[in-house]
């Protein structure tokens, strides 16, 4: 059943937006898009977007449009947002592309070229300027034709949390690790670990109960906000493995109903919000790492470059194997490689 909570766009508000007139700030936006995210309710990233950027979208559209960002699994299971968008249960998602790896290995390569990029900034450039957004739209046109891609990007490298010290590739052997689906899990398996797939909302309990030993699990600040470091006292920072790409999509029907000004505002808002989120988390992560190192209650581990290089060589084998599994996977892989070569990353 499609959500009925959305209010139609008033004639006055549309006229005001068209003419560049700002609506009265006290009025709620005429249309609120229900967007399910991959963030836990306690994540610092969700709090930041809600506090700093959601109000800006309403301002940018003169009061005609805003979004409601919902936590992971709030309406549908994390792997089912694309179907929910296509049939109108959700208006859109801001979630991990990795969740759809089981549909096509192309989603795994699109969602995170494990150990490939050095920073979230490089991934944002790939999505916005290197053909990444267009490649993702091609995946959706093939598998979920009711979905329109607004943009994609990353804001932080996953910060590894662990209950035991992991100082190099050899220490991954036999470790039970919560990992994103698809390529991420495959790389950990090749490195000798035992990857376990679960929602981010289940990770704390699994660590606490000993179901898993470690987790490739979100930004350092998000792990701090979730209390992960109280039970997993050997975080690795900077992360060794994942820099997941998140997508921002809406249904084609929602996109078609938006005015030209609203479409431009939504796309511009996403690019600005994710750039702001990346900068915010870079500062916040480093601030928290410095605090924790000074306190001495947890050990923040930074892998030497030699160990990071070993893991990247393992990841390269997985890249090639996944690229061979479908025509779209090959296209995604070639898009990554072309951009990385142009940017001097390979």
Contact 249, 149 (CB under 8 A): yes
Q: Which residue has the tokens 């936006």?
A: 29
Contact 318, 183 (CB under 8 A): yes
Q: What is the pLDDT of residues 105-123, one digit of tens each?
A: 999 999 999 988 888 999 9
Contact 266, 150 (CB under 8 A): yes
Domain regions of the chain by residue span: 11-156+243-283, 160-241+297-342
Contact 65, 265 (CB under 8 A): yes
Q: Can you give the pLDDT at residue 242?
A: 81
Which pTM value belongs to this model?
0.82
pLDDT band at 3 (very low <50, low <70, confident <90, very high): very low
Q: 266 pLDDT exceeds 80?
A: yes
Q: What contacts 293, CB < 8 A, 6 or more positions away?
A: 300
The mean per-residue pLDDT over the stretch 181-205 comes to 89
Q: Can you give the pLDDT at residue 15?
A: 27
Q: What is the pLDDT of residues 277-311, one digit of tens each?
A: 999 999 999 999 999 999 999 999 999 999 999 99
Q: Which CATH superfamily is domain 160-241+297-342 in?
A: Bacterial extracellular solute-binding protein, family 7 (3.40.190.170)
Nearest partner of 134 among 342, 299, 338, 332, judged by Cα: 332
Contact 152, 222 (CB under 8 A): no
Report which of residues 3 and 118 the model is more confident about: 118
pLDDT band at 57 (very low <50, low <70, confident <90, very high): very high
Q: Can you give the pLDDT at residue 181?
A: 73
* Structure-block tokens of residue 8: 């139609």
pLDDT band at 198 (very low <50, low <70, confident <90, very high): confident
Q: What is the pLDDT of residues 210-256, one digit of tens each?
A: 999 999 887 899 899 889 999 999 999 998 888 889 999 999 999 99
Q: Can you give the pLDDT at residue 156?
A: 86
* Structure-block tokens of residue 56: 């800006």
Q: Can you give the pLDDT at residue 11?
A: 27
> Which class would CATH give 11-156+243-283?
alpha beta
Q: Can you give the pLDDT at residue 305?
A: 92
Share of the chain above pLDDT 90, in %: 77
* Mean model confidence pLDDT for the chain: 89
Please check whether the two domains, 11-156+243-283 and 160-241+297-342, share a CATH topology: yes
Q: Can you give the pLDDT at residue 12?
A: 26
Please give the Cα distance from 81 to 90 (Å, whole number).
7
Q: Can you give the pLDDT at residue 182?
A: 79
Q: Can you give the pLDDT at residue 13?
A: 32
Q: 74 pLDDT exceeds 50?
A: yes
The mean per-residue pLDDT over the stretch 178-195 comes to 90
The dihedral built from the CA positions of residue 6, 10, 16 and 19, taken in this order, carries a sign that is positive
Q: What is the pLDDT of residues 5-55, one digit of tens each?
A: 333 323 223 323 332 333 333 347 899 999 999 998 988 899 999 999 999
């Amino acid at each position: 059943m499609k959500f009925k909570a959305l209010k139609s766009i008033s004639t006055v508000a549309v006229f005001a937006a068209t003419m560049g007139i700002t609506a009265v700030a006290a009025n709620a936006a005429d249309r609120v898009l229900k967007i399910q995210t991959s963030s836990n309710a306690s994540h610092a990233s969700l709090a930041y977007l809600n506090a700093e950027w959601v109000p800006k979208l309403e301002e940018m559209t003169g009061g005609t449009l805003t979004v409601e960002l919902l936590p992971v699994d709030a309406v549908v299971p994390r792997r089912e947002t694309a179907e929910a968008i296509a049939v109108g249960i959700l208006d859109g998602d801001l979630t991990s592309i990795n969740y759809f790896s089981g549909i096509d290995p192309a989603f795994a390569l699109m969602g995170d070229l494990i150990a490939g990029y050095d920073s979230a900034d490089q991934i944002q450039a790939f999505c916005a300027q290197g053909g990444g957004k267009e490649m993702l739209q091609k995946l959706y046109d093939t598998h979920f034709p009711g979905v329109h891609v607004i943009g994609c990007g990353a804001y932080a490298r996953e910060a590894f949390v662990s209950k035991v010290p992991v100082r190099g590739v050899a220490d991954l052997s036999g470790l039970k690790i919560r990992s994103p689906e698809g390529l991420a899990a495959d790389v950990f398996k090749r490195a000798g670990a035992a990857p376990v797939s679960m929602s981010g909302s289940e990770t704390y309990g699994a660590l606490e109960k000993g179901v898993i030993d470690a987790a490739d699990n979100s930004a350092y600040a998000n792990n701090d906000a979730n209390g992960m470091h109280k039970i997993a006292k050997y975080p690795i920072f900077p992360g060794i493995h994942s820099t997941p790409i998140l997508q921002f999509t809406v249904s084609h029907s929602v996109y078609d109903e938006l005015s030209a000004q609203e479409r431009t505002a939504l796309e511009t808002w996403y690019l600005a919000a994710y750039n702001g989120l990346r900068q915010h988390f870079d500062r916040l992560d480093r601030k928290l790492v410095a605090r924790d190192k000074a306190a001495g209650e947890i050990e923040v581990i930074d892998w030497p470059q030699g160990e990071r290089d070993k893991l990247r060589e393992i990841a390269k084998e997985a890249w090639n194997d996944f690229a061979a599994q479908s025509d779209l996977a090959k296209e995604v892989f070639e898009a990554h490689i072309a951009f990385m070569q142009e940017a001097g990353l390979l």
